[in-house]
Amino acid sequence: MPRRFAQLTFTASVQAAQARYGTRAQAERYAAGGSDNSELGAREREFIAARDSFYLATVGDTGWPYVQHRGGNPGFLKVLGPTTLAFADFRGNLQYQSVGNLGGNDRVCLILVDYPQRRRLKLLGHARVLDLAAASDAALAALWQLPAGDAEAPVERVLLIEVAAFDWNCARHITPRYSERELSSLLDPLHQRIARLEAQLRELGGAEP
């Protein structure tokens, strides 16, 4: 079964570049694939649910791409079905470039990265904007288990994304990085062990650390 991601991205210009750099045969094998990579499976669902951020790319009327960062608690990007994602969008810098771009072109690309494990997932899709002001605020707020918003960062809309295709990248060139939450999970056991050792030293009459 041909891979949907390759069908959408391996344009004539891309194929020409692959031929120029000697990777066309490799690209053809990838494109032939064994799965069309258009429906999210257990591996993708688990990966998405663990992410606390992703990058969102849209295309403006001038043809220029625009990339934004979106972040929240792990699981803020929700998988609603085999091909459907959604997330609550908070008020940001008030430029509305991503939302504006979607008014003229609903195509999006999402890149999700697990820096510690050096894993990266790319998704292509079509996005639809649901404004809270024009919909049922109570129903949407209940769906996201979020308040309608606060003075600092109110929820203004929900973005629904119909996934067209996805692809996993190799780990090459991904530099491991750790969030405060990830570091805490690694360091807390060490801190606890140090505290126990210090307590034992005090009980033995050792010097204070």
Domain limits, the chain: 1-37, 39-177, 179-209
Q: Where are the alpha helices (DSSP H) in 51-115?
A: 97-104
Encode pLDDT of 177-186 as tens digits.
877 777 777 7
Query: For residue 25, which amino acid is it?
Result: A
pLDDT at 35: 81
Name, of 73-77, 164-168, 172-176, 185-189, the range with top average pLDDT.
164-168
Encode pLDDT of 186-204 as tens digits.
777 777 788 778 777 877 8
**Angle separating helix axes 12-20 and 24-32, nearest 10 degrees:** 130
What is the homologous superfamily of the domain 39-177 according to CATH?
Electron Transport, Fmn-binding Protein; Chain A (2.30.110.10)
CA–CA gap between residue 190 and residue 25 (Å, rounded): 49
